[in-house]
Structure 1
Amino acid sequence: MDISNHITNNKNWWFKILLSSFIISFIFPVILYKDKSSTYNVITNSFGSIVGGLVFFALVYLITRLFKKRLSDNQIKTVLLISFSFWWILQILNHYNFKIAL
C-alpha cells in the first residue's frame, strides 16, 4: 500500500497518534523555557515529538522502499506505532533526566 492511500484511509489512526504525542508532551515535557508560558512549552514539545516520530517513520519507510518491498496497511500501522513509541520513550526518559545522546 502506498503511504498516501494509507493516510487517506486511516485518518483516525493518524489522529490518535498525533493526539497521543500531544498528551505525552504535555505530561512529560523535555524542553522548558523559563521565560515562556506553559502553553508555549507544550506546543514546542508536542511539535518536536511529532516531527521526531515522523522523521523516524520516514526513515524506516524509505528503507523499505529501497528494497522494493511494499508494506501492507497493518505493517504501516505497526511501523508507525513502533517509531512513535520509540520517540515517546526517549522523551519520557529525557524528562526524568536520563542522559541519552542521539
Structure 2
Amino acid sequence: MATHFARGILTDGQLVSVRLPSSCHDLARALPEHHRTRYLASRALLAELVFMLYGLSELPEIIIQSNGRPVFADRSLPHFSLAYVGNMVGVAIATSGLCGLNMA
C-alpha cells in the first residue's frame, strides 16, 4: 500500500485548479469566506493529485458519509483524507485501504 501526500499554503487565488467541476464552485459559494478558501484549496489539491496519479482530468464526485468523512462517490476510486492547520491544507490518498491525515 502506498500513500501519496500533497500540501499547500492558503493564499487567495494560489491554490486553484481547472480540474474542479462546477458543482465544487457552487457548493463553495454557500460557505463562509474562510471555509470557502479551505474547501476550494483542498479540492484543488485533491484534483491535481488525482490527475497526476490516475489521469482523471476532473475531480470525481465527492459525497459525505454519515460519519462526516468525504469519499469519492465512485467506490472504485481510492480513499483520501483532507486536513487543515493554520494557513496550510494537506491531502493524502491511499492506493488501497483507508488513510487518515492529521497536521499539527
Q: TM-score band (shorter)?
A: 0.3 to 0.5
**TM-score normalised by length of structure 2:** 0.34
**TM-score normalised by length of structure 1:** 0.34
Higher helix share: 1
Higher strand share: 2
